[in-house]
Amino acid sequence: MDKKANQTKNPATGKSIRNEEQTVKSANVGEFAFGKENYRLMLIGLAFIVVGFLLMVGGGSTDPKVFNPEIFSFRRITLAPILILGGYVIEIFAIMKRPKD
């Protein structure tokens, strides 16, 4: 088959579509999907999540017949879940953010 028969011209640029595909593929070779800032934001989000789970720990009782009201403290019911959700929002933002060229 003739090579020119497989290549079609792009009316906007006048280049063949095959050549454009090759330049796009060669431009992306060796590049990472995330930049430094993306990884830094991911670590910050992970730290928020870990701190949130650590704030939820505790409040139990060694004796199962004794109730400890500390399990319903502000730290465990409100602050920790807010930190965890904030960490997940930061993680999503870090994944979606485009790295700078």
Residue 101 has pLDDT above 80, yes or no: no
* pLDDT score of 34: 87
This prediction has a pTM of 0.67
Rg (CA), the chain: 26
* pLDDT score of 43: 97
Mean pLDDT score of the chain: 82
* pLDDT score of 69: 86
Q: Mean pLDDT across the stretch 30-43?
A: 88
Q: What amino acid occupies position 67? A: F
Residue 20 has pLDDT above 90, yes or no: no
CA distances from 68 to 55, 59, 71, 78 (A): 17, 7, 6, 18
Residue 15 has pLDDT above 80, yes or no: no
pLDDT tens digits, one per residue of 38-80: 999 999 999 999 999 999 998 787 888 888 888 899 999 999 9
